[in-house]
A and B are shown apart, each in its own frame.
Chain A
Amino acid sequence: MASTVQCMPGDERLISGGEGHVHLFGVRHLSPAGAYHLRTLLDQVKPSVVLVEGPSDATEWISQLSAKGVVPPVALMAYTESLPVRTLLYPFASYSPEYEAFRWAAANGADAAFIDLPSDISVTLYEYRKQALLERQESEQADEVLQAAREEAFESKRQYYTRQHQLYEQIAQLAGEQNYESYWERHFEHDGKMEGYRHEITELSWQMRRLLEDDERKADPIESAVNEVRESYMRLEISRRLAAGIPPEKIVVVTGAHHVSGLDGSLAPMTEQELAKLPRTPTKRTLMPYSYYKLSSQSGYGAGNPAPAYFELMWDCLQDGALDNLPSLYLSHIAQRLREQGTYRSTASVIEGVRLAQTLASLRGSNQPILEDLRDAAVVTLGYGERSVVAEAMVRTEIGTSIGFLPEGISQTPIQDDLNRQLKRLKLTKYKSAVATDLELDLRENRRVKTKELAYQDLERSILLHRLELLGVSFASRRTLRSDAPAWSEHWVLQWTPEAEIQLIESTLKGETIEWAAAYAIRERLAGCADVAEAAKLVRLSCDCGLTACMEEARAALQRLSVDGQQFTALAQAAFELSALVHYGSLRRTDTEVLVPLLQQLFFRAALLLVDAAGCSDDAATQMLSAIHQLHTVSQDQHERIDDEVWQRQLWELASRDDRNARLSGYAFAIMLERHAVTEEACEQEVSRRLSPGIPADLGAGWFEGLSLRNRYALLSRPSLWRQLDSYIQSLEPEQFRRSLVFLRRSFGAFEPREKAAVAELLGDLWGASASMEAEALQEPLTDDEQTAIAALDDFDFGDF
């Protein structure tokens, strides 16, 4: 049954101004009705000062928040100047009561100010709280008594919060609602009278607080203490205003309803001496756009609400004085979205939905449907009973994709300004949206445009996006769609999120512009770099980011490191990175010729190390294979610049050595074969040498595996090779054969079906079978005997390999 929390007569809190008292207005953050009623109160009282719960050192940002052109949701962010960066966020939506207070103050010439603890203190206090949590996890080595005490403390804390949660749910249950969120909406958001709202919210919070306060002090002393400090500071701020001679009835204080009873003047404010003792960590403040998605994903009191777009709709209706329109607005929004997706729903269904929602509300004795009623009505009338049909339309209507906007000239960190400038310059502003959007870039010069700037616009864009990626700002992420995409094309996915903005603000500590910050990030990584491959990557990164000076530094570092480089794989990788740079450097309009001597040096060193490095285990061989491939690619791409002869000589040496990893020798031989450096005769000779009867199976078959890893057509076009393989396999003892199977299966496993068919054909020819016979044999299903034989292989002992 619908019944509000009972209120005992004579127990009412003093909330309205009255003689010598300030006006306290308790709100739930992000509550349209709260904002609406607050405005009514402000219009009545006409205060000269409006005090709002929020960091008092950010008061100067209030006028910016309510400036023309600012589109909520926006957030005030405080961050520490030192690493690790700690941040505090205060989001505001258009329907936040606090935001309404700013707007009213700006329009009516009143002073608006924040009165909560300054951010440099609260960030420190929050840190204490977090540390207390960590201590519990870290204390595993601590002695048992201490550990037990901590466990107990944690347990009682958990119990306390469970109880708190249960209490709220109990209220909802008593009122016959499904959950507290529904209770809240039905009883507060849709209740039309300001005095009633103000009185009930204060009463509810006060009684809740009285019920829980003592328990909180015991279960979570830190939280309770922080709350105490905050309130006594707020009292101090209020008393400062009073001391300055502002009459109390001209002051309106807007805080979370929970704090109203702590501010009613019966308790003493914090003294200036006490304030001086509080710990501080220097912070800076800035404004940033926020998104409804982010608001909706942070549930919990004050931090967000689950359906911001719906609440905005409600706020719009409230301002027009037409809250009755909300159900039809919500449902027609959903019908519209459904139609956009191609599911047709009629207006008649929307009307039925509104009627159903209203009837559902009337079952609870109210005439305004709440979100839950509307959702159920949408499922029943528009989804034909299936939630999944309307789910996406619902999310779009309730949460939406809106993000806030701050116009130029609104104070932000230099790096935020810089990004906005860059986005504007490169015509990327429209990509700053909550919906992920694809962006294709063509780095080549565009000859059809007039100005030089436009000709290289895509290149500039690429540089900016690379810099953001380097800084860890998740605004842009690069996608590789096809492996054969040309080097001049890049594919990016752009999506703006509040997290990206926070990451950006955090990089402000690295530099005032994106370019400086990116350069700083590269230098930071260079300073800790001890690996050739990593250094080469940094050279390439600086080139991608258009940071020529950094590239030179990275090059120097790479050279220094390469002198002592002994690792073939790392050197090969470094050479590969540089080769790519030299090859495509002109595309990025960077002079890469300076890299050539270094590339030659790296290549030469790597080539000389090849044979030694190839004496490795099978596990390491896999890495070696890709390194050899990389180095070979370099030798092909840069054959004018590097010493190809040395490379060939080394490959040949590796191919002919018997004491190196057989797979690598096979691979080296395959490369030589590909380059036509081996005569038919030499090839036959080598194959028969490698696959002669006396050679152990793992060596022979392993060599063949390496051979088959490269160009298979070179193998398929040489029947003699297959004859040799055939006779080799036939010569094997049963035990040897079983061993070689593992390698052979691995090498043929990578063949494509048509290549396998070609092998079968070759072997068929060798054995004198006709093409049709062998096709038939391949298509035939396995016989039972064959299946048993294959199943027996499941028990094969791989222990030796």
Chain B
Amino acid sequence: MAQAATNALRLPAEVLYAHELEALKETDKAPRPAGWQLSPRAVLTFITGGTAGGVTITPKYIGHSRLVEIAIATLLTDRALLLIGEPGTAKSWLSENLTAAIHGSSSKVIQGTAGTTEEQIRYSWNYAMLLANGPSEQALIKSPIYRAMEEGGIARFEEISRCASEVQDALISILSEKTISVPELGQELSASKGFSIIATANTRDRGVNEMSSALKRRFNSIVLPAPADLETELDIVRRRVRELSNSYEIGAALPADDTIRKVVTIFRELRLGTTLDSKEKVKAPSGVISTAEAISLLTGSMALAASFGSGEVEEGDLAAGLQGAIVKDEEKDRLVWKDYLENVMKKRGSEWRPLYNACREMNG
């Protein structure tokens, strides 16, 4: 279990929203499935927001509540869940909050990389003990999935598509038989009720491996879209920026609403390849322009303003952040950004003028 160290850089969801979970537990009268600490409907409330016994439940995932419903229903049928989406569409965020709500623990995580091995998915050995005493329970190092099966909890598998295909396929038999056999000990672990896996996968990025269809078949897949409209995205960004600045104790004032709107507008237009009124086409940069980037850009600008500036987010701080977020592939992106500045932003009138000037200076 994760210990809530007070000086942790980032708190897990079950600690961050502990009071909300408590309130939901108290008011939740509906029947709870085996191994769940809340009823499905209370989980839905936890993710999409509402109230429970006078406590306001903040929405964690905004915009597509039907998708959350499908995700919960999937976990109810003890199927594994695969969240697919472009970088920055809140896949990990959703998976963390779901596990926190259902089991009160989001810490059983495998973080997938190109170097992930099959042992990290099943189990490995403490070799010193293995050599000294031979195979034994004590020498067994259990993977997060192993532990989730024992407890009847949910294991998270982040960035599954970054693992080598052979390693991914280690999941196939675990998911269909719901057992892990340990031949060295001559025993077999059967999953307790409530066990499931939530995996997240990237579709549009470098260094991802296609998943085999045998594995895909064992998941219920949900594609998480980018926020549907400007207001939803604004809402998401505003909330997350406030939460993050509280937990990181950034000294700067929250950016003005107008500033957030500008950043989100720029991001949406670059992502969609057209201006918001769909009157003009815009070239899209090579990288992914996600909501998560907008959030980190704004908190980054706040940090800049707090440490080196006036304590309020100014155009210069924003311009530096925008430059970094948009221009990734030097030459091409610089042109795309310049195009956008000259053809779209410049024509937006006096309100946008200071930001335009700062960006142009930065882009050179």
The residues of A with any CB-CB pair to B shorter than 8 Å are 178, 346, 348-349, 352, 355-356, 359-360, 363, 376, 380-381, 383-386
Q: How far is the CB of A343 from chain B (nearest CB, A)?
A: 10
Measured between alpha carbons, how far is A662 from B217 in the docked complex, in Å? Answer: 73
In the complex, chain A residues whose CB is within 8 Å of the CB of B77: 352, 355-356, 359
Residues of B within 8 A of A383 (CB): 221
Q: Are A385 and B221 in contact (CB under 8 A)?
A: yes
Q: A384 is contacted by which of B66, B70, B216 (Cβ under 8 Å)?
A: B216
CB of B221 within 8 A of CB of A376, answer no
Q: Tell me if A178 and B73 are in contact (CB < 8 A).
A: no
How far is the CB of B291 from the nearest CB of chain A, in Å?
Answer: 19
| CA of A519 to CA of B220, assembled, Å | 62
The smallest C-beta distance from A118 to any residue of chain B, in angstroms, reads 47
Which residues of A are found within 8 Å of B66, using beta-carbon distances?
A: 178, 376
B73 touches A359 (CB 8 A): yes
Contacts of B76 in A (CB 8 A): 359, 363
Which residues on the A side are within 8 Å of B222 (C-beta)?
380, 385
When the two chains form their complex, are residues B79 and A352 in contact, meaning their CB atoms are under 8 A apart? yes
Query: In the complex the two chains form, is A349's CB within 8 Å of B217's CB?
Result: yes
Residue B69 CB within 8 A of the other chain: yes
Alpha-carbon separation in the docked complex, A380 to B77 (Å): 13
A363 and B72 form a contact (CB under 8 A): yes
B74 touches A384 (CB 8 A): no
B220 touches A352 (CB 8 A): yes
B219-232 CB mask vs A (1 if < 8 Å, else 0) is 11111000000000
Q: Is the CB of B79 within 8 A of A376?
A: no
A360: chain B residues within 8 A (beta carbon): 69-70, 73
User: Main secondary structure on chain A at its contact with chain B?
Assistant: helix
- 24 CB contacts below 8 A, A to B, read A346-B217, A348-B217, A352-B77, A352-B79, A352-B220, A356-B73, A356-B220, A359-B76, A360-B70, A360-B73, A363-B40, A363-B41, A363-B69, A363-B73, A376-B66, A380-B70, A380-B74, A380-B221, A383-B221, A384-B219, A384-B221, A385-B82, A385-B221, A385-B222
Q: How far is the CA of A385 from the CA of B64 in the complex (A)?
A: 14
With A356-B77, A363-B41: A376-B223 Cβ-Cβ less than 8 Å:
no
Whether A385 contacts B79 by the Cβ 8 Å rule is no
The answer to whether A386 touches B223 (Cβ under 8 A) is: yes
Query: Are A381 and B220 interface neighbours, CB within 8 A?
Result: yes
Alpha-carbon distance A180/B216, docked complex (angstroms)? 34
Given contacts A346-B217, A376-B66, list 15 more A-B pairs with CB under 8 A: A178-B66, A352-B77, A355-B79, A356-B73, A356-B79, A359-B77, A360-B69, A363-B40, A363-B76, A376-B70, A380-B74, A380-B221, A381-B220, A384-B221, A385-B82
Bound Cα distance A178, B69 (Å): 12
Assembled-state Cα–Cα distance A417/B223 (Å):
52
Closest to B70 in A: A376
A181 CB to nearest chain B CB (Å) = 14
Bound: A359/B84 CA distance, A: 21
Closest 9 CB pairs of A and B: A385-B221, A359-B73, A385-B223, A384-B221, A355-B77, A360-B73, A380-B220, A359-B76, A359-B77
| Minimum CB distance partner of B82 in chain A | A385
Within 8 Å CB of A178, what residues of B? 66
Residues of B within 8 A of A381 (CB): 220
Cα–Cα distance between A155 and B69 once the two chains are bound (Å): 39
Q: Which residues of A contact B41 (CB under 8 A)?
A: 363
Q: Place the interface of chain B in its size category.
A: 20 to 34
Determine if A385 and B84 form an interchain contact, defined as CB atoms under 8 angstroms apart: yes
A356 touches B70 (CB 8 A): yes
The docked-state distance in angstroms from the alpha carbon of A559 to that of B40 is 85
- Which residues of the partner chain A approach B72 to less than 8 Å between Cβ atoms? 363
**Distance to closest chain B CB from A222 (angstroms):** 37
| Of listed A359, A376, A381, residue having the most chain B CB within 10 A | A359
Contacts of A386 in B (CB 8 A): 221, 223
Closest A-chain residue to B67, C-beta based?
A: A376
What B residues does A384 contact at CB under 8 A? 216, 219, 221
User: Chain A residue with minimal CB distance to B72?
Assistant: A363
Nearest CB in chain B: distance from A376 CB, A: 5
A703, chain B: closest CB distance, angstroms: 44
Residue of A nearest to B33 (CB): A359
Does A356 lie within 8 Å of B74, measured CB to CB?
yes
With the chains together, A88 CA to B73 CA distance in Å?
Answer: 46
B74 contact set on A, CB distance < 8 A: 356, 359, 380
A363→B84 CA distance, assembly (Å) = 23
Residue with the highest number of chain A CB atoms closer than 10 Å, among B72, B219, B220: B220
A92 to B74, CA, bound (A): 39
Q: Taking CB as reference atom, which chain A residue is nearest B78?
A: A355
Question: A675 to B272, alpha carbons, bound, how many Å?
Answer: 61
User: Separation in Å of the B314 CB from the closest CB of chain A?
Assistant: 42
| Nearest chain A CB to B224 CB, angstrom units | 9
CA distance A352 to B216 in the complex (A): 13
Q: How far is the CB of A45 from chain B (nearest CB, A)?
A: 42
Complex alpha-carbon distance, A381 and B219, angstroms: 8
CA distance in complex: A385, B67 (Å)? 11
Return the CB mask of B73-93 against A: 1 if under 8 Å, else 0. Answer: 110110100101000000000
Closest approach, in angstroms, between the C-beta of B175 and any C-beta of chain A? 11
Please indicate the chain B residues that have their CB under 8 angstroms from the CB of A348 in the complex: 217
Closest CB in chain B relative to A336 CB, distance in Å: 17
B residues less than 8 Å from A352 (CB atoms) = 77, 79, 220
Would you give the shortest CB distance from B178 to chain A, in whole angstroms?
14
Which residues of the other chain, A, contact B44 by a CB distance below 8 angstroms? 363
Bound state CA distance, A569 and B223, in angstroms? 62
A338 to chain B, nearest CB (A): 13
**What is the CA–CA distance of A380 and B221 in the complex, to the nearest angstrom?**
5
CB neighbours of B219 from chain A (8 A): 384
Residues of A within 8 A of B216 (CB): 384
The CA of A294 and the CA of B77, in the complex, are separated in Å by 38
With a cutoff of 8 Å between Cβ atoms, the chain A residues found around residue B73 in the complex are 356, 359-360, 363
Within 8 A of A (CB), among B204-237: 216-217, 219-223
Q: For residue B219, give the distance in angstroms from its CB to the closest CB of chain A.
A: 8
In the bound complex, CA of A356 to CA of B80 (Å): 12
Closest CB-CB distance, A191 to chain B, in whole Å? 22
Interface string of B39-76 (1 = CB under 8 A from A): 01100100000000000000000000010011011101
Shortest distance from the beta carbon of A500 to any chain B beta carbon, whole Å:
36
Q: How far is the CA of A352 from the CA of B221 in the complex (A)?
A: 12
Interface centre among B44, B69, B82 (most CB of A within 10 A): B69
Instruction: Tell me the complex Cα distance, A651–B66, Å.
Output: 76
Instruction: List B282-312 residues whose CB lies under 8 Å from chain A.
Output: none
Q: Which residue of A lies closest to B75 (CB)?
A: A359
Per the bound structure, the CA–CA distance linking A355 and B69 in Å amounts to 14
Would you give the shortest CB distance from A373 to chain B, in whole angstroms? 9
Measured between C-beta atoms, what is the minimum distance from B352 to chain A in Å?
33
How far is the CB of A706 from the nearest CB of chain B, in Å? 42
- What's the nearest-Cβ distance from chain B to residue A134, in Å? 32
How long is the Cα–Cα vector from A352 to B78 in the complex, in angstroms? Answer: 10
Q: Which residues of B contact A359 (CB under 8 A)?
A: 73-74, 76-77
How far, in Å, is A382 (CB) from chain B's closest CB? 10
Distance between B105 CB and nearest chain A CB, rounded to angstroms: 23
Most chain A CB within 10 A, of B70, B79, B82, B219, is at B70
- Chain B residue at minimum C-beta to C-beta distance from A381: B220
Most buried by B among A178, A384, A385, A386: A385
A138 to chain B, nearest CB (A): 32
Most buried by B among A348, A356, A380: A380
Least distance between A697 CB and chain B CB atoms (Å): 41
B221 to chain A minimum Cβ distance, whole angstroms, is 3
Q: How far is the CA of A346 from the CA of B216 in the complex (A)?
A: 12
Contacts of A376 in B (CB 8 A): 66, 70
Chain A, residue nearest B73 (CB)? A359
Bound: A346/B79 CA distance, A: 16
Residues of chain A lying within 8 A (CB to CB) of residue B223: 385-386
Chain A residues contacting B40 (CB-CB under 8 Å) are: 363
A179 → chain B closest CB, angstroms = 11
CB distance from B81 to the nearest CB of A (A): 9
CA distance A386 to B217 in the complex (A): 13
